[in-house]
C-alpha cells in the first residue's frame, strides 16, 4: 500500500484544448480560445490557457495574433508573461511588440531572463530605446548586458549567457555539490561547471555527469577536462557553430582576450545559428536575403528588386549576344525556337554544380586539398551528361525540323555549354571565396551569365558556320 502511495505522482491537469494539432501547427481551436479570452478581457481564462505555455509556443502564438491582440495578451498575462517568448518570434513581431510596451515594463520583464535572452531582445532595438531600457535595470544586470552588447554583432559574446558556475582548482567534488545546493543566483540550466585559477583564467571544465559519478573526496581537477581551445567572445557565431557541430559540443566556455572566463554558450543558441547558416546559403542562391514571413511588402520588394536588377544585366547581356546573330535568325527562325533550350540546360547544370560547390565551401568539405579531384570529376560528369542530353536534344531537333544538320548543331552546342557550366559552376564560387566575397550571394549571377552567353553564342555561331548563314 505505502509503495503504491509513493508512486502516486499527481499529474498537473491536462489543458482542455491541445496547443498543437497533429501536424504540430498551433491548434486553430486553441488560437480561437485565446482570441476569445483577449476579446473578452478575461484575465483568468487567458492565464488558464496560456499562462503555463512553453516559451516557444507563446512565441508562435504571438506571431499568429495581430498587433492589438499581442499588446492585450501581454497586458492581461501580466507577471505570467515570460519575455523569453520574444526570442522565439521573428524580428518584425518582436520589434512591434517592444514598440508598443513602455520601457519600464520591458525592463521589468528582462530582469528575470538569462543574459543571452535579454541581449537577444535588446540588440535589434535602436540605441535610444536600448539605453532607456538599460537605465531602468539594476546596476549589476545593466553592466552585464552593456558588456555583452559591446561585443560585435553575431559574435559569441552576443550569444553567450553570462551566468555560470566556477570553482577553484583545490575544491573537492563534495564542496562543489554543496556549493551548488546553497548558491542562489545559478543559471537556469547548465551542463558543466568551470575551474578557474585565482586570476580567473579558465583551466578546464567538468561535465555534470562526471561530478555525479565521482566520490565526494576527489578533487575537481582530477575529473576536469582541460580547455585546449576556448571560444573567444569576439569570435563569429558561424565559426563557433561549426566547432559545436564538428565536436558535438553541448556547451562551451567563452573567454576574453586574457583567457578569462566571461560566459557560456549552449547548444540551443547554436542550433539556431547552424540552421540559419544553411538557410542563408539557400536564400542567397535564390536572391531573397533574410526576409521573414512577417515582413512588409516594401521591405521585401526592395530587397528582392536588387537581385532582379542584377539579373536583368545578365539577361540583357544574353540579348546582346543574340542580337549579333539577328541576320542568322532571320534566315532560319528555327534557331530562335531552339536557342532557349541550350541556355536553359546549361543554366540548370551550372546551378547543380554551383550548389554543391557553395555548400562544400561552407562546410569546409571542399578546399585546396581536393579541388583538382573535384574539378576533374565535375568535368567528367558534365561530359557524360552533356553527351546524353546532346543525343536526346539532337534527335528531337532533327525530327522536329526534319533537319539532321540542326540536330548536330544543337548537340554540339549543348556539349560545349555543359562543359562550361561544370567548369564555371565549380570555379566561380571558389574564386569568389578566395576574393572574400560570399559565394552563395554572388555565384549564380556569374554562372548564369556564362551559361547564357556561351549557350546562345555557341548555338547561333555554330549554326551560322554549319549552314553558311549570314551574321
Q: Which residues in 283-342 contact its own copies (CB under 8 A)?
A: 283, 285-288, 291, 293, 297-298, 300-301, 304-305, 307-309, 311-312, 314-316, 318-319, 322-323, 326, 329-330, 333-334, 336-341
Binding mask 166-195 for its own copies (x = CB under 8 A): ---xx------x--xx----x--xxx----
- Nearer residue to its own copies within complex by CB, 144 or 448: 448
- Nearer residue to its own copies within complex by CB, 16 or 131: 16
Query: Using CB under 8 A, which residues numbered 136 to 165 contact its own copies?
Result: none
Residue count of the chain? 471
Q: Which residues contact 334 (CB under 8 A, 6 or more apart)?
A: 401, 403, 406
- Nearer residue to its own copies within complex by CB, 30 or 151: 30
Shortest Cβ 349–its own copies spacing (Å)? 6
Establish if 258 lies at the interface with its own copies (CB under 8 A): no
Among 203, 232, 253, 262, binds its own copies (CB under 8 A): 203
Buried/exposed code over 80-96 (b: 16+ C-beta within 10 A; e: otherwise): ebbbbbbbbbeebbbbb
Buried/exposed code over 295-329 (b: 16+ C-beta within 10 A; e: otherwise): beeeeeeeeeeebeeeeeebeeebeebbeebeebb
Number of residues near its own copies (by CB under 8 A) = 129
- Nearer residue to its own copies within complex by CB, 203 or 254: 203
Shortest Cβ 48–its own copies spacing (Å)? 17
Shortest Cβ 184–its own copies spacing (Å)? 10
- Nearer residue to its own copies within complex by CB, 51 or 169: 169
Binding mask 379-418 for its own copies (x = CB under 8 A): -xx--xx--xx--xx--x----------------------
Instruction: State the maximum Cα–Cα separation within the chain, in Å, rounded to a whole number.
Output: 102
Query: Using CB under 8 A, which residues numbered 7 to 66 contact its own copies?
Result: 7, 9, 11-12, 23-26, 28, 31, 54, 56, 63-64
- Nearer residue to its own copies within complex by CB, 150 or 197: 197
Shortest Cβ 214–its own copies spacing (Å)? 7
Query: Using CB under 8 A, which residues numbered 88 to 107 contact its own copies?
Result: 90
- Nearer residue to its own copies within complex by CB, 311 or 403: 311
- Nearer residue to its own copies within complex by CB, 360 or 439: 360
Query: Using CB under 8 A, which residues numbered 442 to 461 contact its own copies?
Result: 452, 456
Q: Which residue has the cell 565549380?
A: 426
CB-count burial class (<10 Å; 0-12, 13-18, 19+) for 124: middle
Terminal-to-terminal C-alpha distance of the chain: 100
Binding mask 347-386 for its own copies (x = CB under 8 A): -xx-xx-xxx--xx---xxxx-xx---x--x--xx--xx-
Shortest Cβ 135–its own copies spacing (Å)? 30
Q: Distances in Å between the alpha carbon of 46 and those of 32, 75, 77, 113?
A: 11, 11, 7, 22
- Nearer residue to its own copies within complex by CB, 133 or 194: 194
Among 13, 79, 247, 436, binds its own copies (CB under 8 A): 247
According to DSSP, the β-strands at 261-266 and 251-255 are antiparallel
Establish if 85 lies at the interface with its own copies (CB under 8 A): no
- Bridge partner residues of 226 (DSSP): 204
CB hemisphere CA count around 138 (13 angstroms): 7
Helices (H), 101-207: 103-111, 115-122, 127-135, 139-150, 156-159, 173-182
CB hemisphere CA count around 395 (13 angstroms): 5
Shortest Cβ 88–its own copies spacing (Å)? 8
- Nearer residue to its own copies within complex by CB, 111 or 370: 370
CB hemisphere CA count around 121 (13 angstroms): 29
Report the alpha-carbon distance of residue 92 to residue 90 in Å, rounded. 6
DSSP class per residue in 399-436: HHHT-HHHHHHHHHHHHHHHHHHHHHHHHHHHHHHHTT
Establish if 211 lies at the interface with its own copies (CB under 8 A): yes
Find out whether 466 and 409 touch, Cβ atoms under 8 Å: yes
Amino acid at each position: 500500500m505505502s509503495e503504491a502511495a509513493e508512486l502516486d505522482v499527481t499529474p498537473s491537469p491536462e489543458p482542455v484544448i491541445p496547443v498543437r494539432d497533429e501536424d504540430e501547427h498551433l491548434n486553430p481551436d486553441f488560437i480561437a480560445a485565446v482570441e476569445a479570452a483577449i476579446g473578452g478581457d478575461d484575465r483568468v481564462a487567458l492565464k488558464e490557457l496560456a499562462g503555463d505555455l512553453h516559451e516557444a509556443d507563446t512565441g508562435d502564438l504571438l506571431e499568429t495574433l495581430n498587433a492589438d491582440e499581442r499588446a492585450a495578451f501581454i497586458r492581461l498575462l501580466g507577471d505570467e508573461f515570460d519575455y523569453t517568448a520574444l526570442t522565439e518570434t521573428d524580428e518584425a513581431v518582436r520589434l512591434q511588440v517592444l514598440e508598443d510596451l513602455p520601457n519600464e515594463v520591458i525592463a521589468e520583464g528582462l530582469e528575470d531572463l538569462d543574459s543571452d535572452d535579454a541581449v537577444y531582445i535588446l540588440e535589434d532595438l535602436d540605441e535610444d530605446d536600448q539605453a532607456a531600457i538599460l537605465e531602468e535595470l539594476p546596476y549589476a544586470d545593466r553592466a552585464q548586458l552593456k558588456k555583452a552588447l559591446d561585443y560585435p554583432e553575431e559574435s559569441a559574446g552576443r550569444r553567450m549567457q553570462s551566468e555560470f558556475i566556477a570553482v577553484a582548482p583545490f575544491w573537492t567534488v563534495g564542496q562543489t555539490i554543496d556549493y551548488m545546493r546553497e548558491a542562489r543566483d545559478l543559471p537556469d540550466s547548465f551542463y558543466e561547471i568551470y575551474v578557474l585559477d585565482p586570476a580567473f583564467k579558465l583551466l578546464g571544465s567538468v561535465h555534470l555527469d562526471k561530478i555525479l559519478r565521482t566520490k565526494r573526496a576527489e578533487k575537481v581537477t582530477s575529473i576536469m577536462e582541460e580547455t585546449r581551445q576556448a571560444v573567444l567572445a569576439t569570435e563569429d557565431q558561424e565559426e563557433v557553430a561549426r566547432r559545436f557541430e564538428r565536436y558535438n559540443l553541448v556547451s562551451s566556455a567563452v573567454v576574453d582576450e586574457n583567457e578569462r572566463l566571461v560566459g557560456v554558450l549552449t547548444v540551443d543558441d547554436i542550433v539556431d545559428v547552424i540552421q540559419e547558416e544553411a538557410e542563408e546559403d539557400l536564400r542567397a542562391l535564390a536572391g531573397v536575403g533574410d526576409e521573414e514571413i512577417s515582413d512588409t511588402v516594401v521591405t521585401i520588394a526592395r530587397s528582392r528588386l536588387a537581385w532582379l536588377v542584377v539579373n536583368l544585366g545578365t539577361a540583357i547581356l544574353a540579348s546582346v549576344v543574340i542580337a549579333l546573330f539577328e541576320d542568322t535568325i532571320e534566315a532560319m527562325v528555327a534557331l530562335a525556337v531552339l536557342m532557349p533550350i541550350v541556355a536553359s540546360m546549361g543554366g540548370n547544370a551550372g546551378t547543380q554544380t554551383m550548389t554543391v560547390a557553395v555548400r562544400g565551401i561552407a562546410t569546409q568539405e571542399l578546399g585546396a586539398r581536393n579541388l583538382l579531384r573535384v574539378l576533374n570529376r565535375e568535368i567528367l560528369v558534365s561530359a557524360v551528361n552533356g553527351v546524353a542530353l546532346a543525343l536526346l536534344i539532337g534527335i528531337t531537333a532533327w525530327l522536329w525540323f526534319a533537319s539532321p544538320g540542326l540536330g548536330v548543331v544543337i548537340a554540339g552546342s549543348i556539349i560545349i555549354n555543359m562543359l562550361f557550366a561544370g567548369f564555371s559552376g565549380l570555379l566561380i564560387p571558389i574564386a569568389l571565396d578566395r576574393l572574400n566575397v560570399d559565394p552563395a550571394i554572388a555565384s549564380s549571377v556569374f554562372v548564369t551569365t556564362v551559361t547564357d552567353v556561351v549557350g546562345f553564342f555557341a548555338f547561333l555561331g555554330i549554326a551560322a558556320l554549319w549552314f553558311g548563314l549570314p551574321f
